[in-house]
Amino acid sequence: MKLHFLHADSPPAEKAFKKLTGRYGQNPREDADTIVVLGGDGTILETLHEGIKRAENTPVYGLNYGSLGFLLNPQTDSVGDLPERIAASSQVTIHPLRMNCTCVDGQNHDAIAFNEVSLMRERRQAAKIELYINDVKRMEELVCDGVMVATPAGSTAYNLSAHGPILPIDANVLTLTPISAFRPRRWRGAVLPEKACFTFKILEQDKRPVSATADFTEIREVSEVKVWQSKDLSKTLLFDPDHNLEERILREQFAS
């Protein structure tokens, strides 16, 4: 098994990198059967984004040397068991969101997100946003700190912190979650089919500027943002059988 290792800039991850490459060597990324990520969720997200840029189909197996590590597997105590764990792992294919932004100055920007696309107010005043789903106006004016579209894989991240629903990994839906909504007062968001296309039009742009962020790509002072799931892009994550993503998401729904 040809492995290519990537690691976070932390002492535990760097130590594990030296230990594991000393045992298995370091194959070029383009020749690897599996990319092994040593770090946290941020590190594995960066790896997935780089994989899309490279148009590579190599599966990614993560070992948690970060904090939560929701998208990774537990650390390995023995360097000798890693190939066996990878060989026995289950696959999960995830599709990112695409974000297209038009800015106040007329510039256009594109980005992708495996977790979520979030719109946030830039100043002290709440944002005012007009919301369309599949080109049909669904909300005249959402007054809020922000709003996000999250994938099932990302539903346990920022979306969960904003009291959005946790989505099963194979649910074929997306969640639309407000962030501190003021009006409509009791609106808690919506769960929509994965084919839905979201359009956010920013109202009072000069007075209430809004930024849009796809994972870690932020675009400032947007006037309109379109978000949809891209079925033509995908990445494969590998999980230990007793630590698969579907089971982790299920457990999260019953966490105290």
User: Is pLDDT of 205 > 60?
Assistant: yes
User: Is pLDDT of 74 > 90?
Assistant: no
- Delimit the domains of the chain by residue range: 3-94+234-252, 97-229
The CATH architecture one would assign to domain 3-94+234-252 is: 3-Layer(aba) Sandwich (3.40)
The CATH architecture one would assign to domain 97-229 is: Sandwich (2.60)
Q: Which residues does the annotation mark as catalytic?
A: 41
DSSP secondary structure of 86-149: HHTPEEEEE--EEEEEEETTS-EEEEEESSEEEEEESSSSPEEEEEEETTEEEEEEEEESEEEE
Among residues 69, 11, 3, 63, the alpha carbon closest in space to that of 42 is found at 69
104 Ramachandran zone, left/alpha/beta (phi>0; psi -120 to 50): alpha
Note the pLDDT tens digit of each residue in 216-240: 999 999 999 999 999 999 999 999 9
Among residues 199, 196, 251, 250, the alpha carbon closest in space to that of 223 is found at 199
Note the pLDDT tens digit of each residue in 121-154: 999 999 999 999 999 999 999 999 999 999 998 9
Verify cis geometry, omega within 30 degrees of 0, for the bond prior to 184.
Answer: yes
